[in-house]
Amino acid sequence: MAQEISSLRKFVAPEIIFGSGARKMVSNYAKTFGAQKVLLVSDPGVVNAGWVVEIEALLQQEGLDVVRFTQVSPNPRTEEVMLGSQVYLENGCDVIVAIGGGSPMDCAKAIGIVSTHGTQIREFEGIDKTTNPIPPLIFIPTTAGTSADVSQFAIISDQQDRVKFSIVSKSVVPDVSLIDPDTTSTMSPFLTACTGVDALVHAIEAFVSTGSGALTDMNALDAIRLINSHLALLVEQPEDKYLREQIMLGSMKAGLAFSNAILGAVHAMSHSLGGFLDLPHGLCNAMLVEHVIDYNYSSAEDRFAVIAQTMGIDTRGLTSRQIQTRLRNHVQALKRDVGLPDTLGKFGVNMSDIPYLSTNAIKDPCILTNPRRSNKRDVELVYEEAL
């Protein structure tokens, strides 16, 4: 009986509309939820790209009032969440629409929590801490990587403590995700690379996670295949709509995989690093990924071999150590091809910072599903290798 229970898996996902023009359905869904006044959450970069004006106009054409909240940093901060919830409540909003990358979407999730719980967002750190329903969430991603539009995660930065913390709850899975590859056309090559590598790491970590299962595996492996085959080409050929669609699809599948299987040490360490240095999340992942693969390899050899095969590595006749080396080399080559070859040392991380980074990483919920059990010293060693 114990075996039957341990094999049970849940799979949560929003309603998804995928394809060119999906964003234009935003007002239909807002009205379905009975919206009268929408809080539109975004950030200055997305405003400058022109997407906020378009979505605002689509909502207003259907007679909906719109209140903008665009004071969101690249790593959304606790004070921005609190301000956003104040704007939501003071204006009598009833639905939240977010357009942007992971930052506006994570901030929108947290605004939803605070607006119905009336307390500090840091109190919801961890797993399943929400008790009240939150407002309907309609998300439109403009990057192909974070997958906040399909996940049950929200990652918020506490600048006072220089940490990022994770909120994990089914309540922050958006009600509707309008996944439109056209919106990613305004990303820079650097952002395309960062978010693409983030999605690849989502898929790899989900596949080797102790919470993986049949439903997450199929999404994770297809995401690895799509991103491995198309990301470097997209960075070189940003005008190619087919490549953009394939990466957006890969990002979505990676998000469905990790939202349900959860993640591992790369993300636990990346959240700590991103909170400490305020760097792009995908860049943090890129600097850590091959070192964590090496650390975890012996605990999930068969799974990593499948990942290697999915990335086009011929593993026939190779020993486990040879497969590990080829996978590491392949991941490093992909990072170089997309322009992300950097190490932690380049961004000012010193040996003296590692105990602090490790203390925070080991408390992150993502570490719980890492295939190899980890203590603080294990994490310190991986950070040291990444220097």
Decide: helix, strand or coil at residue 99.
strand
| CA-wise closest residue to 158 among 286, 262, 275, 268 | 275
- pLDDT computed for residue 6 by the predictor: 61
Distances in whole angstroms, Cα of residue 54 to Cα of each of 25, 27, 49, 144, 266: 12, 11, 10, 20, 36
Q: Are residues 159 and 178 in the same domain?
A: yes
Q: Are residues 199 and 176 in the same domain?
A: no
- pLDDT computed for residue 278 by the predictor: 87
Q: Are residues 29 and 97 in the same domain?
A: yes
CATH of the domain at 312: 1.20.1090.10
Beta strand spans in 87-224 (E): 95-100, 126-127, 137-141, 153-158, 163-168, 176-179
Average pLDDT value for residue range 92-104: 97
- Using an 8 Å Cβ cutoff, are 268 and 361 in contact? yes
CATH of the domain at 118: 3.40.50.1970
Q: Are residues 197 and 178 in the same domain?
A: no
In angstroms, the CA 44 to CA 41 distance is: 10
Q: Are residues 35 and 143 in the same domain?
A: yes
Q: Average model confidence (pLDDT) for the chain? A: 95
Q: What percent of the chain has pLDDT over 70?
A: 98
- The number of folded domains in the chain is 2
Q: Are residues 344 and 207 in the same domain?
A: yes
Res. 285: pLDDT tops 90: yes
pLDDT tens per residue, range 160-192:
988 899 999 999 999 999 999 999 999 999 999
- pLDDT computed for residue 7 by the predictor: 74
Q: Are residues 268 and 369 in the same domain?
A: yes
Pick the last residue of a domain from 154, 184, 214: 184
Q: Are residues 309 and 176 in the same domain?
A: no
In angstroms, the CA 263 to CA 366 distance is: 5
Tell me the residue range of the domain where 113 lies. Answer: 2-184
Is the whole-model pTM more than 0.75?
Answer: yes
Res. 2: pLDDT tops 80: no
Q: Are residues 260 and 375 in the same domain?
A: yes
Q: Are residues 156 and 179 in the same domain?
A: yes
Q: Are residues 152 and 279 in the same domain?
A: no
Pick the last residue of a domain from 156, 184, 212: 184
Q: Are residues 204 and 169 in the same domain?
A: no
Pick the last residue of a domain from 184, 200, 218: 184
